[in-house]
A and B are shown apart, each in its own frame.
Chain A
Amino acid sequence: MTGDALFEVTDLVRRFGRGGRVHALDGVSLQVQRGQRLGIVGESGSGKSTLIRLMAALDRPTSGSITFEGREITALAERDLGFLRAAVQLVFQDPRSSLNPRMTVGSIVTEPLRAAHLRRAMDAVDPRQRLREVLAAVDLPSDAAERYPHEFSGGQRQRIAIARALAPAPAVLIADEPVSALDVSVRAQVLNLLAELVDAHGLTLIFVSHDLAVVRHLCDSVIVMRAGRIEEQGSAEQVFAHPKAEYTKALWAAIPRIRTDG
């Protein structure tokens, strides 16, 4: 293990289906350093979402190991995962399905603070004060707490999801296609907000996306995945300026660009 690795993933395999016919992840190894901004890119079926679900202990691997801050997490029972749940938070693609429509924004955002096994892993915080802090951090009005998710636009709902993720003061933020379901006109705002928050809170960012241009903008290092394997990994600069894998070149070339030559 080198230096300050937060996550150490070794030879991770995840199979699905009868007899494990579907190899969703097929021997993936990687490290995430503290403060790193790692982009994971790939097309559907590449295994990128399976990988982060395993890293967040939302699913268990078929074989292989994941350590977080030196502790093996793959075999832990849910009640022993409090330290990981408090330190690693997720933002999902579609805030319409990731926010409970029957809860107020206030109770959605403070829910992680009320969960028993997270509380044990955290310093004591005043939920009301924390709520005000995180709503302000994502630029939502303070009266947002009493309202319900449907009263907000798509971009604002994703801000609510980000506020919830920030509530337990995590070390790692995992964002799975956080702007793909949003209108083009608000994507830039949410991306700017994520970048600001990562800076201000010194977060480690794991950013999953099919959009290479967004990853190039936000991340300092990149993993390109295909069919459950890592095709290429390196610094963002190197992967995008001098891609080695043919697949990375093909992905990069396929991005539509604005044509103004008529």
Chain B
Amino acid sequence: MSLLRVNDLTITFGRRRSVAVDAVSFEMGAGQRLGIIGESGSGKTVTALAVMGLLPETARVSGSITLDGHELVGMPDSALARLRGDLMSMVFQEPMTALDPTMRVGRQVAEVLLLHAGRSGDSARGQVIEMLVRVGLNDADRVADSFPHQLSGGQRQRCLLAMALINSPDLVICDEPTTALDVTVQARVLSLLDEVLTAERAACLFISHDLAVVSQVCTDVLVMLEGRIVEAGPVARLFSRPEHPYTRGLVATARIGDVMPGQRLPTVEDFYRREAR
């Protein structure tokens, strides 16, 4: 049985009903790593927010999203809130805005635990420290007692990862989790993510504009363009033999290392001409 099933999902915004996501369908099995790639405005983040039930009130959603047999479209917010952080969780791009600047991070991680597991504060501390150690924060005690601004970008992103994983969710959604980080920090956070997802046996929906990053983390990919899925397949096939012209363009531009220095770089337009909008 699939863990997440998205069927004919359509999302429109505002009075003009502009279409952000257009009849999107896909499935994820337990423990699967699925990447979504596409440029800004392609609908990848809106799709993720719809799964999390975090769309703004101006959004209209039709179609179906089921997670572990629960239908999420139309589910009351109080019921969704119980699933969020428990069955599914999310890691955002910018840890400085995702964390509360006025609260020590240990308490923020503990909050997730207390809200869902109904544990008392004392036993939570031990679990929080243990989780922080598992995401590679060796001085977990000091980190837990720090405010977000006292930590580096990489440490903050590890804290978010700890928050996302502490309730052992079945699905973790990562939206550009390493885009704001330096390359050496990114490499460490990605390998850590790979490790903890494997250990927790959690499925991951991984959104990124960076094809190389997606190929490192995921086994399968969806390519989104203007609200639609234009191509889907296993990472190994899609990045070596892309079929849709847009995907071929994306892959060609991402392979900058294959171009002789000084030569003209291939562009997406060389492969795919979009109609004027």
Contact = CB atoms under 8 A, between A and B. Distances in A.
Nearest to B153: A44
Nearest to B185: A43
Contacts of B254: 184, 258
A4 B54 CA distance: 59
Nearest to A189: B267
B39 A43 contact: no
A189 B211 CA distance: 18
A256 B177 CA distance: 14
A256 B253 CA distance: 14
Interface stretch (B17-25, B165-173, B213-221): B213-221
A183 B209 contact: yes
A43 B264 CA distance: 26
A208 to B, nearest CB: 14
Interface stretch (A65-73, A83-91, A140-148, A209-217): A209-217
A191 interface: yes
A254 interface: yes
B187 A256 contact: yes
A260 B265 contact: no
B190 A217 contact: no
Interface string B258-270: 0101101111110
B265 A184 contact: no
B255 interface: yes
Given A260-B235, A261-B236, A217 B267 contact: no
B39 A184 contact: yes
Given A192-B265, A213-B257, A256-B213, A262 B182 contact: no
B13 interface: no
Nearest to A44: B182
A185 B249 contact: yes
Contacts of B182: 43-44, 210
Interface residues of B, number: 40
A119 interface: no
A254 B186 contact: yes
Nearest to B218: A259
A254 B251 contact: no
B266 A184 contact: no
A185 B268 contact: yes
B212 A256 contact: yes
Contacts of A188: 253, 256, 265-268
A217 B259 contact: yes
Contact of A258 (B186, B251, B262): B251
A260 B239 contact: yes
B40 interface: yes
A81 interface: no
A254 B187 CA distance: 6
A23 interface: no
A188 B212 CA distance: 16
Contacts of B219: 262
Interface in A141-183: 154, 183
Contacts of A212: 183
Contacts of B235: 259-260, 262
A257 interface: yes
A255 interface: yes
B74 interface: no
Nearest to B265: A188
Given A185-B250, A188-B253, A256 B210 contact: yes
A183 B265 contact: no
A259 B215 contact: yes
Given A184-B209, A251-B184, A258 B239 contact: yes
A250 interface: yes
A185 B190 CA distance: 23
B234 interface: yes
B128 to A, nearest CB: 28
B225 to A, nearest CB: 9
A191 B261 CA distance: 12
Interface of B: 39-40, 153, 182-187, 190, 209-213, 215-216, 219, 234-236, 239-240, 249-251, 253-257, 259, 261-262, 264-269
15 contacts: A43-B182, A183-B39, A184-B209, A184-B211, A185-B253, A185-B268, A188-B265, A188-B267, A218-B261, A254-B184, A256-B212, A257-B215, A258-B211, A260-B215, A262-B236
Complex A-B, nearest 9 residue pairs according to Cβ-Cβ distance, in ascending order: A262-B236, A256-B212, A43-B182, A254-B187, A188-B265, A183-B39, A260-B240, A259-B215, A185-B268
Given A183-B39, A217-B265, 18 more contacts: A183-B40, A183-B209, A184-B39, A184-B210, A185-B250, A185-B267, A186-B267, A195-B264, A210-B182, A212-B183, A255-B212, A256-B183, A256-B187, A257-B212, A258-B255, A260-B215, A260-B236, A260-B240
